[in-house]
Structures are given as structure tokens and as C-alpha cells.
Structure 1
Amino acid sequence: MHEIHAREVLEKLKLMGAGRVLIQSPEGLRREAEVLGNFLEDNGIEVILHGEVNYGACDPADREAKSLGCDALIHLGHSYMKLHLEVPTIFVPAFADVEVVPALEKNLKEIKKLGKKIALVTTAQHIHQLEKAREFLENNGFEVLIGRGDSRVSWPGQVLGCNFSAARVNAEGVLFIGAGYFHPLGVAVATRKPTLAINPYSGDAIWMNDEAERLIRKRWAQIAKAMDARSFGVVTSTKKGQLRLAEAKRIVRLLREHGKEAKLLLMNHISYPQLEGFSFDAYVVVACPRVPIDDYENWRKPVLTPREVEMLLGLREEYEFDEILGVERSEDEPMGISIHGG
């Protein structure tokens, strides 16, 4: 279960004078969206539920909210991301109702293998438990570093699937708290440091570095498959947090300068079946960095990231994870803003 602060959302909507809202949620939070919608309707606000797949804070449904005449968008399950939105938007994180310290206590011997000086990171679902985790680890002799991250993340210690700036601190290893492989695998590839993922639900601990090396070998294989490609489709996204038009144009220029044919393509949801009709030999995805990484097996033709194009062209030797980075924060810049747009 996830904790949603419904009354706080209602208070913000009333301050905004909102009479109609669109609630957008990822698939795992559909029930929470229904509960929140019922609560708001009981308090006099008209609610429309958004049923499309949602990929994160980078994929807000503000255009849809505006077209429906909504006064606000409620973006459920993700933290604030600085974007130019068309309606006022409330980002409502969903905090997981699970304690993280018992899983840390269970795996203390494994954590010690990271070294004495460790970076501590997690996702928005467990960010409210990060200080408890730090206190436990420091009481057990660790020096714990929680990176501030750049402007794309809301809280110190938070990582996204496309941004690991909070993990880039001067530590011996990285401890990730959360479920699944998606985020810790990115941490391990991006930092190239020993990375241990601890699942607070199951209590399991998994070392990610072998998985990271396997992933990097697979990516080099994709680069090798693209060596003979003469024409490239360079794909960017209309999703506001993934629209990297300047970077996409740079990749088109770079390919052309090296004797390749390149065309810029624009999509919303990027998937290979929608591209089958084109004749390109290979593709470059300049949108969510995880599309070519996590979905490459669904592509019949080679699919690369911008960094991998540079490797293909001999401009970069070491493998580097593609990320969407923000700007560095000043020390006094506020974090965790929850309403934006309009």
C-alpha cells in the first residue's frame, strides 16, 4: 500500500479554486487514484481519471487536462519535475508503507562489503525513510553520504530511471533501497561503483555489478550491430520531460558529418512496431534513455543512445550511461516543490 495525502491535495485544490481535475496515475496506483477521486468528489470537485500508461513525472497529461477544461492536473505517484506545463499541476508522491530499517539490519554484513564510506540512494516511494536509514547506518559505523542531485530530482538521495546525479558522490560504494532492478541497475552502470540493492519488502539484498557488466556487454553488441548501418532514424519524444530536441539535432549533425544518412523522427510513445514502415538501418533514441536499454530485444534493428552513437563513431572509448540531466542546484535552492504550471 502507498500513503497518499488526500486532504492536503484537497486543500491545495481549494486554494486554486479548482472545480474539475484530471488524475493521472501509473498502473500500480490505479486503486489509489480511485480512492483519491472518490474523496475529492465527496468534497465537491469533479474528477476525471486518466487511463493511459504513465512513465513518470517526465510524462504529464497536462495537455489532456487542458483540452478537457480541467482546472488542474493531479500527477500521482511521482515527485515534482521542473517542466513548462499548460495547467497547474500537483505532483503527489506515493510513499510506500514499509519500514526500511529491518531489511538493512538483516543485511548488515553485506552492506559492510561496500566499505565504510557509502552513498545512500532510493526512489520517491521510500524517500521519507531515508533519514531513518542514515541514522541506522551511522550508528553501525558507516559514513553515509546523501547526494543533493541536480534540478531534475526533488529530494537529496533520490534517483530516477534517467538521472543518477544524487549517486555521484565521493563514496566507496552505493547502497540503493527499493524494489526491482530498474533503478539500481542504472545506478551501477552510471557510477561504476559497487552497488548493493536492498528490497525493503522482501528483505533481499542483490549485488548489481555483474548485472551492470552484462548490460554493458549487450550494449556493445548493439553498437557492433550498427557498425554497417548507413541510415539512422533519430527519435525524440513529445513527452515534455523527454523532449531533447537540441540533443537530437546534434546527433543528426554528428552522423551526417561522419558520412551517415540521418533523419529526425518525432513520436510520443516510442516502440519499434510503429517504425516498421521506415527503411532506416538503425535507430537512435534521444528521449527516455531506458527505451533502447530495456526494450532493445523488441527492436528488429539496432537501437542506440546518443552516447553509444559517439562510441560507434570512435569519439568515445569508455561506456557511459545516457542520462537526462538538470542543472546543478545552489545550496539555498528549495527542493520538493509540488505545484507547477498554469
Structure 2
Amino acid sequence: MHEIPPGEILKTLRELNAERVLIQTPEGLKREAQSLADFLEENGIEAIVNGDINYGACDPADREAKLLGCDALIHLGHSYMQLHLEVPTVFVPAFAEANVVEALRINLEEIRKLGRRIALVTTVQHIHQLERAKSFLQEKGFTVLIGEGDGRISFGGQVLGCNFTAAKVDAEGILFIGAGYFHPIGVALATKKPTLAVNPYSGDALWMDEEAERLIRKRWAQIAKAMDAQKFGVVISTKKGQLRLNEARRIMKLLRDHGREATLIAMNYINYPALEGFDFDAYVVVACPRVPIDDAENWRKPVLTPPEVELLLGLREDYRLDEIFGMEKTGNEPLGVALHGIRIHL
């Protein structure tokens, strides 16, 4: 279950004088979005639910909200991201109800193998329990660090699938709290430090060393398949938080400087079937770093990330995940974080 505070959302919308809103939701929160729409309608606010797939705060539906004449966009399930948006946007993280401290208690002996000085990171679903987790671990003798991260990160200790800056602190090892593999693997590769993932739902703990090595082997296989490729499609996203035109131009120049052909392709939803009509030998995705990794098996042609192109061309030796970095934090970021993590972009 996830915690969505309808009363606080309603209060925020009334402060914005919003009469019509668009609700954007990831797949796992569609029922919560439906319930929220019903609640808002009962309280005099016209609510429209966006049925498109949503991939994160990097993919806001502000253009759609403006087109529909909405006064605001409610973006469920993700934390605030610093973007230029066309309508006031209310970011509402959906906090999970899993007991984080109990999962840490069960796995205390494994956690001790990280060392005494550890960094604590998680995804936005568990960020509200991070201070409790820190206090518990400190009581058990650990020195616990929570990194701030750069301007793409809303909360201290938060990691995204495209940004692991909050994990890059002076620690012996990294403790990740959450489900799934991609985030802790990314932490392990970004920090090159021992990383233990504790799942607060199952209570399981898993070391990321072998998982990271397995991922690297798969990615080297993609690079090897692209070694003889001459014509590259360099794919960028028109999603606001994924648009990396300058990085795409840099990659195109590298390819051309090394005797390869490169063509720039712009897409909103990046998927291989939409590209099958082209005759490129390989693709480079300069958008969400997870697309070429999570979906690689669905591509008939090799698909690479920007750092993998550098490996392909012999410009680097060490493997690293692609990351999208935010601006340096100044302390003047828009608006504050409310009780349930709600943040408004005006």
C-alpha cells in the first residue's frame, strides 16, 4: 500500500485556485489516481486522469494539462524535479508502508559487513523512513552518512534510476533500502563500493557485486555486437527531464570523428519497433539511461549508452552507468517540502 494524502492535495489545489486538474500516475498507482479523482470531484474540482504510461518525474504531462485547460497538474508517485513546466505542478510522492527498521533489524549482521561508516540511500517510496533507519543504525554503532545529491535530487539519500549522486560520499560501504535491482546496481557501479540492498517488503538482503558484474557482462556483449557498426541512430527523448541534445551532439561528433556515420532521431516514447523501418547498424539512446539496459533484449540491433560509445571507440577503459546530472544546489530551489513530501512547481 502507498500513502496518498487527498486532504493535503485538496488544500494545495485550493491555494492555487485550481478548478480543473490533470492527474498523472505511474502504472502502480492507477487505482489511487482514480480514487483521488473521485475525491476531488466530490469537493468541486474537475479531475481528469491521464491514461498514458508515466516513467517518472522526468516525464511530466504539463503540456497535456495545458492543452486540456487545466489549472494544475498532479504528478503522483515521484518527487520534485527541477524542470521548466507550463502549468503549476504538484509533485506527490507515494510513500510505502513497509517497515524499514524491522528489515534492517533482521539483516543487522549482513549490514555490519559493510563496515562502521556507511552511506544510507533509498528511493522516494521509503524516504520518509530514512531518518528512523539512520537512528536505528546509529544506536547499533554505525556512523551513518546521508548524501545530499545534486539539483536533480529532492531528498537527502534519494537515488534515481538516472542519478546516484546522493550515494557518492566518504563511506566504507553503501546500504540501499528498497525493492528491485537497478537502483542498487547503479549505486554499486557509481560508487565502486560494497553495496548491500535490503528489501523492506520481503526482509531479504542481497549483495550487489555479482549482480553488477552480470550487468556489465551483458553490456559488454552489446558493445561487442556494435564493434563493426558503421551507421548509428542517436536517439534523444522529447520528454522534458530526459532531453539531452548537447550530449547527443557530443556523441555524434565522437562517432563521426572515428569514421562512423551518425543521424539524430527524436522520439517521445523510445522503443525499437518504431525504429525498425530504418537501416542503422546500431543505436545510441541519449535519454533515460534505463531504456537501453532494461529493454535491450527487445532490440534486434545493438543499443548503447553514451559511456558505452566511449568504450566502443577506445576512449575510456572502465565501465560506468550513464547518469543524468542536475544543477548544483543553491538553497533557492522553488518552494518547500510539505508534510507528506508534496512540492509545488509554479
TM class by shorter-chain length?
over 0.9
- Superposed counterparts of 1:36-185, under 5 Å: 36-185=36-185
Once the two structures are superposed, residues 199-218 of structure 1 have per-residue CA deviations (whole angstroms, 9 ceiling, x without a partner) of 11111111111000111111
Task: Give the SS at the match of 1:262.
Answer: strand
Residues in 1 aligned to 2:237 and 2:193: alpha-carbon distance in whole angstroms: 31
Measure, in 1, the Cα distance between the counterparts of 2:190 and 2:293. Answer: 13
* Structure 1: distance between partners of 2:278 and 2:333: 46
Distance across 2 between alignment mates of 1:248 and 1:332: 30
Q: Deviations over 1:113-139 (max 9, x none)?
A: 111111100011100000000000010
Q: Which residues of 2 match residues 218-237 of structure 1 at below 5 A?
A: 218-237=218-237
Unmatched runs of 5 consecutive residues or more in structure 1: none
Deviates more, 1:28-37 or 1:146-155: 28-37
Q: Does 1:29 align with 2:34?
A: no
Amino acid at match of 2:82: K
- The Cα offsets for residues 48-97 of structure 1, whole Å up to 9 and x where unpaired, read as 01111110000111111111111110000000000111111000011111
- Which residue of the partner structure matches residue 188 of structure 2? 188
Q: How far apart, in 2, do the equivalents of 1:124 and 1:202 lie?
A: 18
| Structure 1 residue aligned with 2:269 | 269
Helix, strand or coil for the counterpart of 1:34?
helix
Q: Which amino acid is the alignment partner of residue 238 of structure 2?
A: T
Counterpart position of 2:289: 289
TM-score (norm 2): 0.96
1:37 Cα offset (Å)? 1.1
Instruction: Give the 3-state SS of the residue equivalent to 1:222 in structure 2.
Output: helix
C-alpha displacement of 1:332? 7.5
- Report the alpha carbon displacement of residue 182 of structure 1 after superposing the two structures with TM: 2.3
User: In the alignment, which residue of structure 2 is the partner of 1:12?
Assistant: 12
Shift of 1:333: 6.0
Alpha-carbon distance in structure 2 between the residues aligned to 1:26 and 1:172: 35
How far off its partner does 1:156 sit? Answer: 0.3
**CA separation in 2, counterparts of 1:56 and 1:147?**
21
Return the offset for 1:32: 0.9
The aligned residue for residue 197 of structure 1 is: 197
- 328-337 or 114-123, which moves further after superposition? 328-337
Amino acid of the residue matched to residue 231 of structure 1?
K
2:306 is matched with 306
Shift of 1:328: 2.4
5+ residue gaps, structure 2, are none
* TM-score relative to the length of structure 1: 0.97
Tell me the distance in 1 between the aligned counterparts of 2:124 and 2:47: 25
- Structural mapping, 1:296-335, within 5 Å: 296-330=296-330
2:73 partner letter: L
Between the two proteins, the alignment pairs up a number of residues equal to: 341
How far is 1:331 from its partner?
Answer: 6.3
Aligned CA-pair RMSD = 1.3
How far off its partner does 1:225 sit? 1.0
Which amino acid is 2:140 matched to? N
Out of 330, 338, 345, the position equivalent to 1:340 is 345
